């Protein structure tokens, strides 16, 4: 009988290994497929400007004088070139984007110089970084749970997790942030276990990397401090002392950039957080954010209400699963395990909850809650592994939880398939940018098209259109309250997001009529 059970376990284990390998392959495929198909949206355009080494003021000054501009000239400010070096890149971040930490920008600049400046090449660095999540997650689970099986289940969940796939395909620092969170977590647990000076030095280095990757990593580091203090029972033990010294070293390395943020604040970069939100709006927003961990059909604020209502049962089931996973790990695991998971979930989650519900702000976004998502995925992996493999679990319960795990995996795979074919997804603000591909298509249909706009629209709208229109399109950008000198030879002339002054001036000076195509685009239909 024991021999038969052992043989059955070996068979199931081999099937599990095969399934996880398949899911890993699918996850890698989702991260790299159609990298250049999705619209290169506003945040990514800003990333590319920073990578180029130019400042926004330099770009406006050089492009906004009314001369004709080709796609190549426009995109000069979107990738590295001999005129600017890494020092210029760092300077641009300091002067205009101090809240964006420089590590990812500098690393991406080197990547683009090696592999090219296409959209696919630029985004591929984030996709490559996301692959490092798998070994780091495995290592973390081994340190935390002392179980390779939980590690592989966690990897399977993350491989097809829609939220991980979405940010693996974006030219922003979120993939790197996830990796630094995992590495610092591993380094902390390892240092607490080994209690050696070198292990604490390694932890200090991982803190420094995290600090220079994302500003909210400071919240993760603070939560790690709470974890150490609680595990050490608020005693000034050897572990506590080494932790304080390592944290101090990591923090000191970040002090220069803190000074940069203080002396070069960019409050306009987070103006969107001042949007007031009702209690119901905050609740639905948070529900949507966390449900995307396992199911994401691309629903955005601009989608019909009926579609959102239809998803409510599925979202509620996912939320119940998450809450039960956290409850289960708190009841069944040791303090050093469940406390680590809770502090990781709460590191960013609690401050954002306070900002949203107490101050009625709108700080909570999927990209900011990634540490909380990682903690939830660890709890779910622990739940599935324990329920499916535990000797004390009844057969029918094992089958039930195996089915639940299967549904979660299928939800992720289905989400990835849909997302891989979409040109624009919820994270790229379709309510603002969904018309851009249509506009680009209209402009590109002309034989010799010209697009005229104001300097206020260079970044990001005009640069975004530069990735979408045909290379034959020419641009003409003028300063505010200035009119362009339109030359002959263009068959189709368009105005994009023109000011009232620009529209009135074109009609009067050139004796023209403007045909409004949509809210953003006008076409000159009659000219003297």
Q: Can you give the pLDDT at residue 526? A: 67
Query: Which stretch of DSSP H or E encloses residue 332?
Result: helix 305-332
The pLDDT tens digits for 25-69 are 999 999 999 999 999 999 999 999 999 999 999 999 999 988 999
Cis amide bond preceding 10, omega within 30: no
User: Which residues lie below 8 Å from residue 446, measured CB to CB, with a gap of 6+?
Assistant: 490, 491, 492
**What confidence tier does 391 reach under pLDDT thresholds 50, 70, 90?**
confident
Q: How many CB atoms lie within 10 A of CB 60?
A: 17
CA–CA dist 214, 391 (Å, integer): 43
Query: In terms of DSSP bridges, do strands 513-516 and 521-526 run parallel, antiparallel, or are they unpaired?
Result: antiparallel
The candidate with the shortest Cα–Cα distance to 110, out of 137, 134, 86, is 86
Environment class of residue 516 by beta-carbon count within 10 Å: exposed (0-12), middle (13-18) or buried (19+)? exposed
Largest CA distance in the chain: 95
Evaluate whether 160 touches 296 at the Cβ level (below 8 Å).
no
Average pLDDT of the residues of the chain: 92
Average pLDDT of the segment spanning 400-409? 94
Environment class of residue 431 by beta-carbon count within 10 Å: exposed (0-12), middle (13-18) or buried (19+)? exposed
Q: Can you give the pLDDT at residue 362? A: 76
If one compares 416 and 483, the residue with the highest pLDDT of the two is 416
Q: Does the pLDDT value for residue 279 go beyond 80? A: no
**What confidence tier does 310 reach under pLDDT thresholds 50, 70, 90?**
confident
Average pLDDT of the segment spanning 67-91? 94
Residue 523's SS3 state is strand
Q: What residue spans define the domains of the chain?
A: 2-36+128-425, 432-526
Q: How far apart are the first and last CA of the chain?
A: 95
Average pLDDT of the segment spanning 176-186? 98
Q: Can you give the pLDDT at residue 1? A: 39
Q: What is the DSSP string of 211-253?
A: HTT-TTHHHHHHHHHHHHHHHTTT---HHHHHHHHHHHHHHHH
Q: Does the pLDDT value for residue 308 go beyond 90? A: no
Q: Could you tell me the strand order of the sheet in which 474-478 lies?
A: 65-69, 474-478, 449-454, 492-496, 521-526, 513-516
Q: Does the pLDDT value for residue 6 go beyond 50? A: no
Average pLDDT of the segment spanning 231-260? 95
CA–CA dist 184, 136 (Å, integer): 10
Handedness of CA 289, 293, 295, 298 (dihedral sign): positive
Q: Does the pLDDT value for residue 435 go beyond 70? A: yes
Q: Which residues pair with 475 in a beta bridge?
A: 69, 451
CA–CA dist 356, 350 (Å, integer): 10
Q: How many CB atoms lie within 10 A of CB 387?
A: 18
Q: Can you give the pLDDT at residue 12? A: 66
CA–CA dist 308, 60 (Å, integer): 41
Evaluate whether 204 touches 183 at the Cβ level (below 8 Å).
no
For residues 357, 362, 365, 367, the Cα torsion angle rounded to the nearest 10 degrees is -110
Q: Can you give the pLDDT at residue 332? A: 95
**What confidence tier does 4 reach under pLDDT thresholds 50, 70, 90?**
very low
Q: Can you give the pLDDT at residue 9? A: 44
Q: Does the pLDDT value for residue 186 go beyond 80? A: yes
Q: Can you give the pLDDT at residue 527? A: 52
Average pLDDT of the segment spanning 497-519? 90
**What confidence tier does 184 reach under pLDDT thresholds 50, 70, 90?**
very high
If one compares 212 and 277, the residue with the highest pLDDT of the two is 212
Q: Does the pLDDT value for residue 401 go beyond 60? A: yes
Q: How many CB atoms lie within 10 A of CB 316?
A: 12
Q: Does the pLDDT value for residue 273 go beyond 70? A: no
Q: E strands along 347-457, which residues?
A: 449-454
Q: Can you give the pLDDT at residue 449? A: 96
Of 351-355, 374-378, 464-468, the least confident: 351-355
């Amino acid at each position: 009988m024991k021999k038969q059970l052992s043989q059955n376990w070996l068979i199931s284990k081999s099937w599990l290994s095969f399934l996880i390998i398949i899911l890993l392959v699918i996850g890698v495929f989702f991260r790299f497929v159609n990298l250049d198909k999705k619209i290169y949206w506003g945040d990514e355009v800003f990333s590319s400007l920073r990578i180029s080494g130019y400042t926004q003021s330099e770009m406006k000054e050089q492009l906004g004088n009314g001369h004709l501009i080709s796609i190549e000239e426009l995109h000069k400010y979107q990738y590295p070139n001999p005129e600017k070096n890494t020092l210029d890149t760092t300077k641009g971040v300091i002067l205009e984007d101090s809240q964006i930490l420089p590590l990812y920008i500098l690393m991406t600049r080197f990547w683009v110089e090696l592999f090219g400046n296409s959209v696919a090449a630029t985004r591929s660095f984030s996709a490559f970084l996301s692959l490092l999540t798998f070994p780091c997650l495995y290592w973390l689970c081994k340190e935390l749970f002392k179980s390779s099986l939980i590690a592989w289940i966690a990897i399977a969940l993350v491989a097809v997790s829609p939220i991980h796939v979405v940010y693996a395909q974006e030219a922003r620092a979120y993939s790197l942030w996830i990796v630094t969170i995992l590495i610092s977590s591993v380094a902390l647990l390892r240092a607490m276990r080994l209690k050696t000076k070198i292990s604490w030095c390694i932890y200090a280095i991982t803190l420094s990397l995290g600090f220079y990757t994302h500003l909210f990593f400071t919240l993760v580091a603070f939560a790690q401090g709470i974890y150490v203090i609680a595990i050490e029972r608020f005693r000034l033990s050897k572990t506590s002392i080494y932790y304080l010294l390592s944290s101090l070293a990591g923090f000191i390395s970040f002090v220069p950039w803190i000074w940069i943020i203080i002396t070069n604040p960019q409050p306009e970069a987070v103006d969107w957080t001042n949007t007031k939100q009702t209690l119901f709006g905050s609740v639905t927003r948070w529900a949507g954010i966390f449900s995307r961990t396992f199911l994401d059909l691309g629903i955005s604020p601009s989608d019909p209400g009926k579609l959102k209502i239809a998803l409510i049962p599925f979202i509620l089931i996912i939320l119940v699963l998450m809450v039960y996973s956290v409850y289960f790990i708190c009841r069944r695991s040791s303090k050093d395990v469940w406390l680590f998971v809770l502090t990781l979930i709460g590191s960013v989650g609690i401050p954002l909850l306070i900002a949203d519900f107490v101050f009625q702000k709108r700080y909570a976004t999927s990209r900011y809650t990634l540490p909380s998502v990682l903690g939830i995925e660890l709890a779910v992996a622990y739940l599935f592994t324990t329920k499916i493999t535990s000797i004390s679990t009844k057969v029918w319960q094992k089958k039930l939880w195996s089915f639940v795990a299967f549904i979660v995996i299928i939800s992720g795979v289905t989400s990835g398939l849909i997302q891989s074919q979409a040109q624009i997804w919820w994270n790229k603000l379709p309510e603002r940018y969904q018309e851009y591909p249509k506009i680009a298509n209209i402009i590109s249909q002309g034989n010799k098209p010209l697009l005229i706009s104001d300097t206020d629209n260079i970044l990001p709208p005009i640069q975004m259109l530069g990735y979408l229109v045909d290379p034959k399109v020419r641009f003409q950008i003028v300063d505010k309250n200035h009119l362009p000198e339109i030359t002959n030879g263009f068959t189709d002339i368009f105005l994009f997001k023109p000011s009232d002054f620009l529209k009135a001036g074109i009609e009067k000076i050139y004796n023209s009529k403007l045909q409004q195509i949509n809210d953003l685009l006008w076409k000159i239909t009659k000219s003297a």
